[in-house]
Each structure stands twice: as structure tokens, then as C-alpha cells.
A = this chain, B = another copy of it.
């Protein structure tokens, strides 16, 4: 099974690659550090990636930038970046990738718990994450040839909290988040928001 992992060098992406590699052929993609590169904020870059890569069985995205900043400081361009990158970047990975994914294959995207449980500073991220979840529920009804789509919505990741000097016990380990992607990819569900919260 040939799987594209976009965002493969991030905290969650690395854990997803490690979880998938024993059983699948993983093509790791990232903005700069992986062998294959893509800027999901640029539609042309996504189309070029799919042209280079050819047929796949699944696409996993753990990529996408959105701006965390107080509402009063969020600028037009902060919203624009969050919309074009985390939201439409991942939507376009699906739209442009449909013809590359074989019958019965899947897309697994990444939102975040701010979609449902907001926090001050998270207005643009809540918007992008919730929008992506709305798209996922709807697109699942129309994907052709048995293709499936799901979105993993993780809480704060322990490793990220630790890197920020905060208590990692308040987060969920990247290895636990990765299991949600594997379950989405190897299971039969579609149109689902899979939340992964701290224990």
C-alpha cells in the first residue's frame, strides 16, 4: 500500500511515518526537509506533486499553518494565511488528489480540537479547523470509487508542549495521535472527525 504523508517532518507527521512504515510504502513529503517537497498553500505546488508521484492508495496530511494570535491582533493576512494554508491547502490535497488515489483508498486530514473547544487567541485556527471538518463530512458523501475521507482532530501534543516549556502531561503523546491516522487509514469509516484528547 503506497501512502503519501504530507507534513512528514512535523511532530505528528514523524510519528505517523514511524507507525505506517512497518506495513506500508510511505512517501514522505514536507515543505522543506523531506526528499519530496510541497507548499500546500500553493495550488500549483500540489498539482505538481501529484504529477510527480502518480498512483497512490492513501494520502495523509499532517500539514497546515494557521495563525494563533489575539482576535484584536489578527490581521486580514493572518486570516488569509490560515484559510489558504491549513484549510484550503488540505482541501486542495483532496480535490486535486482524487484521480491519483486508487479505488477504495483514503484521505486523512488534520484539524485540531480548537474546532470544538475554543481558547482565546484561537479564532483563526477554530475557523480553519471547523471549516475543514465541515468539508470532510460533506466530501465523504461525494467521493467516487469508494474513496474515504476523515479528519483527525488532536488536542495539544505533549512533545509540542514540552518544546514550549510547558507541562507535557497536559497533552497527548504524538504516538497516540498517530494511531488515529492508522485507524482511519486501515479502517472503513468515512466523513468522521476523530478527536484525540489527553487521557
Q: Which residues of chain B come closer than 8 Å to A129, judged between CB atoms?
A: 134
Q: Across the interface, name the chain B residue whose C-beta is closest to A75.
A: B95
The reply to whether A119 and B138 form a contact with Cβ atoms under 8 Å apart is yes
Q: Which residues of chain B come closer than 8 Å to A137, judged between CB atoms?
A: 116, 118, 126, 130
A91 sits at the interface (CB 8 A): yes
The reply to whether B126 and A135 form a contact with Cβ atoms under 8 Å apart is yes
CA distance A120 to B121 in the complex (A): 34
Interface positions, chain A 111-145, Cβ under 8 Å from B, are: 114-116, 118-135, 137-144
CA distance A119 to B114 in the complex (A): 24
A43 sits at the interface (CB 8 A): yes
Interface positions, chain A 90-122, Cβ under 8 Å from B, are: 91-92, 95, 98, 114-116, 118-122
CA distance A71 to B138 in the complex (A): 9
A141's partner among B83, B91, B120 (CB-CB below 8 A) is B120
Q: Which residues of chain B come closer than 8 Å to A10, judged between CB atoms?
A: none
Most buried by B among A71, A121, A122, A132: A71
Known: A74-B95, A83-B88, A123-B135. 19 other contacts (CB 8 A): A43-B76, A71-B95, A71-B139, A71-B142, A79-B88, A83-B83, A83-B87, A87-B131, A115-B134, A118-B134, A118-B191, A121-B142, A126-B137, A127-B134, A127-B135, A128-B131, A128-B134, A129-B134, A130-B137
